[in-house]
């Protein structure tokens, strides 16, 4: 079985990552399902305002309580999760594509091209992600796509390094030398042999980037530079609840923040299980 490892003395033992990965996958599936099945956004507009029931603590009728204008906080949290997941997934995919392209160019070409590209990566790495993200968002009006662009342009660096290192390792393999000796061009070798070899690592980098992108969006929204205030992302919900927290009403801040933490830990657990499956030691143990 895939989740059974063999102990050095010959006794099988079960990987601790496998149950954790399955649990994380179940949590992610439940969060995505809840985000997709949330009622239409019409229930989040001004018609849902009920000032007579504002800042009600959690109860059976409102499990997460109500916000400062009487709207159901559970509904807004689930809708905010949809927006945060959308930003996180799209931004992570965009950043992975950029990082994979840059890393592939640096690793496949080598020489001065590799040096120029990696100096560019080092230059971007010297600037704090949040500061660079604020600069990108400030050039556009608040919205989903400026936030996606901000995350994508600041989170491709680690993927580029990973892809470059993997391609440099693959270039030493015998089948690459055989392809070059057979007359294959550098472009054909890169597309047909090198890029397929880095896809698992690039996919893992994309999964790991999703929680980073969600936190980046939350930080920008908390600073008032992310999504518009009427878009109920998790970051906007936490930002809008600061006054309530100072007044002693804890639930408008707790539940959006807790939902963001749960989503982050679930993605991290799934990525950890994926990383273990990609490790050479793990693959060799599964073959025993």
CATH code of the domain containing 160: 1.10.3720.10
d(CA 217, CA 276): 28
Work out the angle at residue 205's Cα, subtended by the Cα atoms of residues 94 and 149, and round it to the nearest 5 degrees: 25
Beta bridge partners of 5: 13
In a domain, 46, yes or no: no
Per-residue pLDDT reduced to its tens digit, 71-80: 888 888 888 8
In a domain, 278, yes or no: yes
In a domain, 133, yes or no: yes
In a domain, 11, yes or no: no
pTM, two decimal places = 0.76
CB 252 within 8 A of CB 68: yes
Backbone conformation region of residue 183, classed left if phi is above 0, alpha if psi is from -120 to 50, else beta:
left
In a domain, 216, yes or no: yes
Two structure tokens written together for 262? 């749960």
Strand blocks (E) in the chain:
4-6, 12-14
Residue partners of 152: CB distance under 8 A and separation at least 6: 91, 94, 95, 98
Number of domains comprising the chain? 1
Q: How far is CA 20 from CA 29, 251, 262, in A?
A: 14, 29, 14
Task: List the one residue out of 240, 237, 242, 234 whose CA is nearest residue 213.
Answer: 234
Domain assignment of residue 131, given as a range:
17-41+66-286
In a domain, 57, yes or no: no
In a domain, 55, yes or no: no
Q: How confident is the model at residue 46 (pLDDT cuts 50, 70, 90)?
A: very low
Per-residue pLDDT reduced to its tens digit, 150-175: 888 888 888 888 888 888 888 778 77
**Looking at residue 23, what is its pLDDT?**
82
In a domain, 10, yes or no: no
Two structure tokens written together for 51? 């000032």
CB 257 within 8 A of CB 241: no
Q: Which residue has the higher pLDDT, 41 or 132?
A: 132
Q: For a pLDDT cut of 70, what percent of the chain falls above it? A: 83
Q: How far is CA 205 from CA 110, 168, 239, in A?
A: 22, 18, 29
Question: Residue 122: CA atoms inside 13 Å, Cβ hemisphere, count?
Answer: 6
Sign of the C-alpha dihedral computed for residues 255, 261, 263 and 266 taken in this order = negative
For residue 6, pLDDT over 60 is answered with: no
Q: Which residue has the higher pLDDT, 32 or 46?
A: 32
For residue 19, pLDDT over 80 is answered with: no
């Amino acid at each position: 079985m895939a989740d059974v490892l063999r102990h050095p003395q010959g006794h099988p033992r079960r990987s601790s990552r496998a149950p954790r990965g399955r649990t994380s996958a179940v949590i992610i599936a439940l969060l995505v399902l809840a985000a997709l099945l949330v009622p239409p956004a019409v229930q989040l507009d001004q018609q849902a305002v009920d000032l007579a029931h504002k800042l009600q603590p959690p109860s059976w009728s409102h499990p997460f309580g109500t916000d400062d204008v009487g709207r159901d906080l559970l509904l807004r949290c689930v809708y905010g999760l949809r927006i945060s997941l959308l930003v996180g997934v799209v931004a992570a995919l965009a950043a992975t594509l950029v990082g994979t392209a840059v890393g592939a160019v640096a690793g496949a070409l080598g020489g001065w091209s590799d040096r120029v590209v990696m100096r560019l990566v080092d230059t971007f790495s010297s600037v704090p992600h949040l500061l660079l993200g604020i600069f990108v968002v400030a050039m556009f009006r608040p919205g989903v796509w400026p936030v996606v662009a901000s995350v994508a342009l600041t989170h491709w660096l680690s993927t580029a390094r990973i892809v470059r290192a993997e391609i440099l390792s693959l270039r030493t393999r015998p089948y690459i030398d055989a392809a070059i000796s057979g007359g294959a061009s550098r472009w054909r070798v890169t597309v047909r042999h090198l890029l397929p070899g880095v896809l698992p690592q690039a996919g893992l980098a994309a999964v790991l980037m999703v929680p980073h992108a969600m936190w980046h969006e939350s930080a920008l929204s908390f600073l008032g530079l992310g999504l518009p205030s009427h878009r109920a992302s998790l970051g906007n919900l936490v930002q809008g609840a600061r006054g309530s927290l100072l007044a002693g009403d804890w639930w408008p801040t707790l539940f959006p923040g807790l939902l963001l933490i749960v989503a982050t830990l679930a993605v991290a657990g799934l990525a950890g299980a994926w990383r273990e499956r990609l490790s050479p030691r793990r693959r060799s143990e599964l073959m025993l």
